[in-house]
Structure 1
Amino acid sequence: MGCRQTTALKIELLKGSVPVQMVNKFRRELSADRPVIDFVPQAQLKDLYQLLQPEEKKSRPENHSSSDLIMIGDYWLTQAIQQQLVQPLDPQVWQRWNQLPPQWQALVTRNAQGELDPQGQVWAAPYRWGTTAIAYRREQFETLGWTPQDWGDLWREDIRDRISVLDNPRETIGLTLKKLGSSYNITDLDLVVDLEDQFRQLHRNIKLYDSNTYLKPLITGDTWLAVGWSTDFSEKFRRQHNIGVVIPASGTALWADLWVQPTSEKPISNLPLAQQWIDFCWKPEIATQMSILTGTTSPIVNQLQPSELPETLQNNPLLFPKAEILEKSEFLLPLPESTLKQYQALWIKIRTETVGS
């Protein structure tokens, strides 16, 4: 009876984020000795971030191999760096790092405090990204005689009490900032004229604040419009419920899923398989396949010409947004504590007011 091979590479990732076709192709491309690669799916991004915590590592059995790469959302990168849960990577070992758009390189280049810093180190490898988008019931808006195109449409009187939004101050106050021509990442909300009044007006149109079940009232017709994450608006979902989706013309919030290496004794430069996996994900043909199969977009796709993409990708504005919209869109970057307190104060003030007051 042969002895069991030890795992050469262990990757923990979000369930459904890496198509099995990609995994199989990567294994086929490896050397003849076929090292054991373990892809371990987790249900939610917060579960993956939890795996970086020291107490989680200690609770695992001694014979349980440690992870070489873990997928996390860009939302968690700042605190992961601050808490020294991840270690810097060496982009020089990646063949395709320079093919990433500058915006995605900048997102993961940070100082030891987790702040964006062009002179900092590279702490993660961007895998895929998506947007905050507007979904709407087609038949209802045909009756109204218009379709949503931009954030400003959420303030219209004829959709009073018919909107569901994310229960997230950065997203919902952020879209109000965007409507006013400002930035999601402005560091002093007091500088934005009419922000409080505009958020108050939007609040009157909102029926539900929820980040998990906001699609249910859209499906049942209790709401006619929902602000949510592009991954939730799959083509199958849109067809099944006759739902239209649009990325706001004035730009939107971007999010990204990243590969990080947990803090350990071994640097990434000694893990050629991890290097190969990251580079493999950035191959144009693989990046294209991943984008189509998962309903998200590889950053590599943004560097390709439309003629290099399959029609299914070219003609999907959720996966291949117009360049002018993308240029106006922003990642939700780390903010000073003073700004976060401003967000929280405004969030609580407006949401606890009596509607109509």
Structure 2
Amino acid sequence: MTHPSNSNIDIVKSNTSKIENVDFDNLTFGRTFTDHMFVCDFIDGKWQQPKIMPYQAMTFEPSARVFHYGQAVFEGMKAFKDDAGKVWLFRPEENHKRINISSARLAMPEFPKDYFLDGLEALLKLDKDWIKPGVGNSLYLRPFVIATEPAISASPANMYRFMIICSPAKAYYSGKVRVLFAEKYSRSADGGVGFAKAAGNYAAQFYPTSLAQEKGYQQIIWTDASTHEFLEEAGTMNIFFRINDTLVTAPISDRILDGITRKSIIQLAEDNNVPVEVRRVPVSEIKEAARNGSLKEIFGAGTAAVISPISAFEHGNEVFELPEMENAYATMFKKELLNIQHNLSDDKHGWRREVK
């Protein structure tokens, strides 16, 4: 696989902007999109010249393989603006690495790093006015790849499209989240694609999540597919448990997404001398910890939500309410993470990348 050595991007600017019609104080997550998008096609065994163009509808043939065999992967990331007007990305190299891991698992071509990073920066320069300063404000970035070859034979495509679209965002979840521990349905299995950000992973969990929502829960915490005895991750989040003062989370595997927010929280915990255990987490242990009072917190971590405290969980028809914590880890780590992302504190791990 080859790609052109010249990574210049063809740019066609929008003649008008939609920004004046956007109420940035009342955004619904993922519904509003900026003026431009990044596009790059894979044809004849190589990535073509990248382009940035006005955000617009696209036309694909009904036989495009993505519609039939699900070759589609994506990433979630954010851009931030500090009080001086500088724009920052948070660990974008990790997103590039992960989308290529996802692509490889679905027999899709990897995307060049220079195209990815240069494309992000060029796009953000054009649409920087859509990034509002202030903690809690961000521009959500959605890189994704789909199979576009018009053929319905069951085999990997020979044509793909890589794109990046952008959506202004505020908080993803408001308030605390109530969850259901999975007892029947599974998110992923050994040897599967759970570790990849494959579109089908999310489609498969919509139905069981809707059943949980009918019972008054916002999310499911998935358990292992074999026994349903070990807690793994939630629909859009990795999961952390605070038992006494120790932070516990499941190890990544071919069932669990290697979350960038997850690994950042583990590092912040170590920076703050908070004990961290990365190990299998039995449902029975968490229920017993809830009963004896040693379970202090559960919270989810992900790009869109950042950190979402969980106020209660149900398993085996038992409901466990979690205590209100005065010095919650969820609050502390969220503040530290947001301060790094918004250039309000030191970045000793080099996570920020300025868009110059």
TM range (shorter): under 0.3
Structure having greater relative contact order (Cα 8 Å, sep ≥ 6): 1
Q: TM-score, normalised by structure 2?
A: 0.27
Structure number having the greater strand percentage: 2
Q: TM-score, normalised by structure 1?
A: 0.27
Structure number having the greater helix percentage: 1
